Amino acid sequence: MGYTNRGKANAVIRRMQITYLNRPKSVAIGMLALVTFLFYTATTQPQGKFQAKGSTPVAAKSQTAIKIDGEKNIYEDPNSLTKTERYQSLGMKGATLWFTGLSGSGKSTIGKKLEEVLVRDYRKHTYRLDGDNLRFGLNSDLKFSPEDRKENVRRVGEVAALFAEAGNVVVASLISPYRVDRDEVRRIHREKGLPFFEVFVDVPVSITEARDPKGLYKKVRAGEIKGFTGIDAPYEAPLHPELTLKSAEMDLEEEVRTVIIELQKHGVLTATDDTPSWYPALIPPDGGMDWAPPAYSTYSSAAAAKFPQVLLNDIDLQWV
């Protein structure tokens, strides 16, 4: 029941007052309270569709597409949610970590461990896009010519940007031997306003060949594989990567820790818009960081690892 005219509402109140004048006092008071509420609602509620308290009017969605391809007759349909709204609902931001390096450098090994730590320990949405895995499905039609390698990187870059825009930390592990192709992936992310971290897993070919976890180098030397990156096909090392991991000189935990600190430094693991000015002296919210200034470090990591462990999430920490 609702009223749109103040005069009608006043008339109803007068009639109700007369009707219940001789009724018990408690009933009259109750009815007058109800009618007063209806009067308030009728005279303060905006006309049209109901609007929740504290909300702002929702403007009609624009029908003007941002991108138009007249030849294909396709139109971009923008999202109604902003990245900020999405990230705030998740308590983190989306970003892409692009691991590049020779076959056998450790890209996939680092990526798997990083995904495990971010999901299990930090409770962050993370997904790994592995170059080999994607060639079983998304890129199953591609081979290893320079043209196919370029398309392979482009496809994975577009998918990574979609995952990052949805609020995931994307761990992409691909050889991606050409700088121009990696730069194109960076451009895709930059245009969408998404953080992009090029991570160079820097290991000399002599070491990757000695490791040879898949037996590929052996096949190359036997002449069974042609156009193998680092042997008879080029690899263009990054000139200015966000991170360089000297995998032959670092253990796996140190590599993962280095990447996580980089994410924290840029505020990816929190929903806040800016990195706090006091970073890294205090623990930031939503996942925090496992780093403390030397003055506050009483125990070594080895000693601390022997202590009893309790799995806590962000809600648990609100009570600490």
| 139 close to 155: Cβ distance less than 8 angstroms | yes
**Which segment of 41-45, 141-145, 177-181, 255-259 scores lowest on mean pLDDT?**
41-45
pLDDT tens for residues 178-207?
999 999 999 999 999 999 999 999 999 999
User: 129: pLDDT confidence band, cut at 50, 70 and 90?
Assistant: very high
User: 158: pLDDT confidence band, cut at 50, 70 and 90?
Assistant: very high
The residue assigned the tokens 């970073």 is 279
| 160 close to 166: Cβ distance less than 8 angstroms | no
How far, in Å, CA of 92 to CA of 273, rounded? Answer: 10
- pLDDT at position 291, please? 45
Inform me whether the pLDDT recorded for 143 exceeds 70: yes
How far, in Å, CA of 94 to CA of 171, rounded? Answer: 11
Inform me whether the pLDDT recorded for 163 exceeds 70: yes
Q: Where are the alpha helices (DSSP H) in 192-287?
A: 205-211, 216-221, 252-265
Region 173-180 average pLDDT: 97
pLDDT tens for residues 218-246?
999 999 999 999 999 999 999 999 999 99
How far, in Å, CA of 245 to CA of 249, rounded? Answer: 9
Q: Contacts for 262-270 with beta carbons within 8 Å, 24 or more apart?
A: 262/197, 263/95, 263/97, 263/169, 263/197, 264/288, 264/289, 264/291, 266/95, 266/195, 267/93, 268/92, 268/93, 268/94, 268/95, 268/169, 268/195, 269/92, 269/93, 269/122, 269/124, 270/91, 270/92, 270/93
| Percent of the chain predicted with pLDDT > 70 | 63
How far, in Å, CA of 303 to CA of 281, rounded? Answer: 22
pLDDT tens for residues 260-312?
999 999 999 988 555 445 444 444 444 444 444 444 455 556 666 666 666 66
User: 103: pLDDT confidence band, cut at 50, 70 and 90?
Assistant: very high
Pick from 246, 242, 201, 198: nearest CA to 97: 198
Please indicate whether residue 176 is annotated as part of the active site. Answer: yes
User: 68: pLDDT confidence band, cut at 50, 70 and 90?
Assistant: confident
Among the listed residues 105, 108, 173, 176, the single catalytic one is 176
Higher pLDDT, 200 or 27: 200
